[in-house]
A and B are shown apart, each in its own frame.
Chain A
Amino acid sequence: MLFAFGVLSLVFLMGYEMYDGSALTIAKFGWNFLGTSTWDPVQENYGAFPLIFGTLLSSFLALLIALPLGIGVAIFLSELAPRWLERPLSFLVELLAAIPSIVYGLWGLFVLVPWLRLIVEPWLGSNLGALPFFKGPAYGFGMLAASVILSVMVLPIIASISRDVLQAIPGLQREAALGLGATRWETTKVILSSAKSGILGATLLGLGRAVGETMAVTLVIGNRSQISASLFSPAYSMAAVIANEFTEATSSMYTSALIEIALVLFVMTIILNALARLIVWSVTKRFKR
């Protein structure tokens, strides 16, 4: 019981320590910290908006890629795949979630970035260059690379949790639909509509992971604190700025600014995760007796 209480207090301890550590910048900038966009350690002027923007945009794009794929995988694993195929495939998907993010980063840096720079981005530029998203020189490093690598990392989470949710739905519903003469796909649609909120929860969990992902993003996003419409241009994310600049932070104000960013990240992920867990729980509880 005492130890369980330890786990409980850990969360609050973490929150308090970071609030305490960032007191300097909170006192000086207040809410402006979140809204302004200069990040200038030399002038001691800190605004985190481009970082928050970079984090949110890259996570959002990653979800855009990973969500349909992840749900497709989950449907295949829980509804369509024969048993002998389902087990090893599920294992592979879960393994994908366990690969250290630095390895993803390494792969992104030496395989994905050159590929984007030499093949994908020039092609997008010449074919869809009219759109503001695909303008500008192809660096390879940048928002697009970060989003792609994030989507690869988020996909297994969405897929495996969605699969759990789908499998929690009683077989009776399936049998009922099939018994009425529905095809496999029509049955799946019925199942999906009962699993909707669970899949939403899985998506939020995936989003939580994408928002906090550090190493892979740091290596490929290009690390420049700016807001740009083009996905080709370098950007920055909250986690990446902490990873890059924390050891170089010489003044206490600088450190305080970085700790405050960690605090923002902490609060964001706590909200996302809490929401997601609540949703997933309420769904699985409803079907479990």
Chain B
Amino acid sequence: MKKDEKVYFYWRKAKNNAMILFSLACVLLALVPLILIFSYTLLQGISSLNIDFFIQMPKPVGESGGGMANALVGTGILLGIGGLIGLPVSIMAGIYLAEYGDNPFAATVRFLADVLSGIPSIVVGVVAYVLVVLPMKHFSALAGGVALAILMIPTVTRTTEEMIRLVPHSFREAGLAIGIPRWKTTLRIILPTALKGITTGILLAIARAAGETAPLLFTALGNRFWSTAIDQPIASLTVFIYDYSKSAFEDWIRQAWGAAFVLIALIFVLSVIFRIVTRSRYAEH
């Protein structure tokens, strides 16, 4: 090699290494906040979790101790209402998209579901307010549930579709070949095969909905007392975090961290399960 060729060669190599290092640095830098948030929440959260947190009611201002039992139940009820409204619609829509979705109409629905999943949750809250709170004239668990349902629909629809698409084509053909009608094939063969994936996908969507705050602020509102009535304001973990984080009481802030930890743990566990389930599915085929 001539000399300047050699210089150019080393220059290219150096540039290559520099860029590899740069992208590695990006990864590290991106992971820093993740680790910071995780460890901080873990540290603050664990120390403030105790039995009281789960079984006690919130104490009045100034008294320390107490827990968020009502918020835990409230979040559960909200998710239940949301799921009851949102899941049937989105699962059926998902089945339709996967099994009969080879036309322009289905493509439009798919597209809108994707767009819908990008709409800010606060906007969904406003819609639920206009739809439910205004006609009913007061804040209610039902309104919160409707908001969460709207949030779940696009993700569950798309996950259901993806999971059904993972079922190999030969299953479908086998069913049809022995003379089972199409709807029965879908219902009895395809759906049970995809069930594991769909269930975990749904759980993940529910976990994410559990972390939503914005749409609940002015639909479910929050409640410091025990309430399970669906036409009354109801407490939720996330709204408690919001309210407590703005307060000046150490004990309340401590509890906000505790609630944050519960939420993260929930989402983490479900994500891991979802990952394992879908991965084994890929491996089969």
Q: A4-B106, A185-B19, A239-B214 are in contact. Are A99 and B267 (CB under 8 A)?
A: yes
Q: List B contacts of A274 (CB < 8 A).
A: 111, 115
Q: Is B180 an interface residue (CB 8 A)?
A: no
Do residues A73 and B27 form an inter-chain contact, with CB atoms below 8 A?
yes
Give complex CA distance A174, B216 in Å.
48
Write the nearest CB–CB distance from B47 to chain A, whole angstroms: 14
Q: List B contacts of A89 (CB < 8 A).
A: 27, 31
Q: A70-B30, A274-B115 are in contact. Are A243 and B15 (CB under 8 A)?
A: no
Do residues A68 and B126 form an inter-chain contact, with CB atoms below 8 A?
no
B18-58: CB near A (< 8 Å → 1, else 0) gives 01101111110111011011001100000000000000000
Q: Is A266 an interface residue (CB 8 A)?
A: yes
Q: List B contacts of A183 (CB < 8 A).
A: 12-13, 15-16
Q: Is A199 an interface residue (CB 8 A)?
A: no
Q: Is B212 an interface residue (CB 8 A)?
A: yes
Q: Is B119 an interface residue (CB 8 A)?
A: yes
Q: List A contacts of B143 (CB < 8 A).
A: none
Give complex CA distance A219, B256 in Å.
14
Give complex CA distance A185, B123 in Å.
43
Smallest CB gap from A213: residue in B: B120
The segment from A9-17, A25-33, A45-53, A121-129 found at the interface with B is A9-17
Instruction: Please provide the chain B residues from 99 to 132 with a CB less than 8 Å away from any CB of chain A in the complex.
Output: 100, 105-106, 108-109, 111-116, 118-127, 129-131
Which of A2, A159, A186 contacts B16, CB < 8 Å?
A186
Do residues A106 and B130 form an inter-chain contact, with CB atoms below 8 A?
no
The segment from B59-67, B89-97, B195-203 found at the interface with A is B89-97
- The main secondary structure of chain A at its interface with chain B is helix
Q: List A contacts of B208 (CB < 8 A).
A: 98, 100
Smallest CB gap from B44: residue in A: A110
Do residues A258 and B34 form an inter-chain contact, with CB atoms below 8 A?
no
A95-108: CB near B (< 8 Å → 1, else 0) gives 11011111111110
Give complex CA distance A146, B92 in Å.
39
Which of A72, A98, A102, A208 contacts B271, CB < 8 Å?
A98
Which of B37, B90, B126 contacts A242, CB < 8 Å?
B126
The segment from B162-170, B171-179, B257-265 found at the interface with A is B257-265
Do residues A4 and B109 form an inter-chain contact, with CB atoms below 8 A?
yes
Q: List B contacts of A243 (CB < 8 A).
A: 122, 214, 217
Smallest CB gap from A93: residue in B: B30
Q: Is B77 an interface residue (CB 8 A)?
A: no
Write the nearest CB–CB distance from A251 to chain B, whole angstroms: 14
B220-249: CB near A (< 8 Å → 1, else 0) gives 010000000000000000100110011000
Write the nearest CB–CB distance from B110 to chain A, whole angstroms: 9
Which of B16, B37, B253, B267 contacts A104, CB < 8 Å?
B37
Do residues B121 and A107 form an inter-chain contact, with CB atoms below 8 A?
no
Q: List B contacts of A73 (CB < 8 A).
A: 23, 26-27, 30
Give complex CA distance A105, B22 in Å.
29
Which of A7, A8, A68, A266 contacts B90, CB < 8 Å?
A7
Write the nearest CB–CB distance from A288 to chain B, whole angstroms: 13
Give complex CA distance A1, B99 in Å.
11
Do residues B120 and A239 form an inter-chain contact, with CB atoms below 8 A?
yes
Do residues A7 and B264 form an inter-chain contact, with CB atoms below 8 A?
no
Write the nearest CB–CB distance from A71 to chain B, whole angstroms: 8
Q: Is B150 an interface residue (CB 8 A)?
A: yes
A127-148: CB near B (< 8 Å → 1, else 0) gives 0000000000000000000000
Give complex CA distance A139, B49 in Å.
32
Write the nearest CB–CB distance from B131 to chain A, whole angstroms: 6
A269-289: CB near B (< 8 Å → 1, else 0) gives 110111011000000000000
Give complex CA distance A258, B121 in Å.
15
A68-82: CB near B (< 8 Å → 1, else 0) gives 111111011100100
Q: A1-B96, A270-B115 are in contact. Are A102 and B218 (CB under 8 A)?
A: no
Q: Is B275 an interface residue (CB 8 A)?
A: yes
Could you pull out 16 A-B pairs where Cβ atoms are within 8 angstroms? A4-B92, A7-B89, A7-B90, A11-B115, A14-B150, A72-B26, A75-B23, A76-B23, A96-B34, A185-B15, A209-B118, A212-B119, A215-B238, A239-B120, A246-B129, A273-B114
Interface pairs A-B: 5 shortest CB-CB: A212-B120, A72-B26, A100-B211, A273-B118, A3-B92
Which of B's residues lie within 8 Å of A, judged by CB?
12-13, 15-16, 19-20, 22-27, 29-31, 33-34, 36-37, 40-41, 88-90, 92-93, 96-97, 100, 105-106, 108-109, 111-116, 118-127, 129-131, 134, 150, 153-154, 157, 207-208, 210-214, 217-218, 221, 238, 241-242, 245-246, 253, 256-257, 260, 263-264, 267-268, 271, 275
- Add 13 more A-B contacts to A10-B153, A69-B29 (CB < 8 A): A4-B97, A4-B109, A6-B89, A14-B123, A17-B127, A72-B23, A95-B267, A95-B268, A103-B263, A106-B245, A185-B19, A212-B122, A272-B118
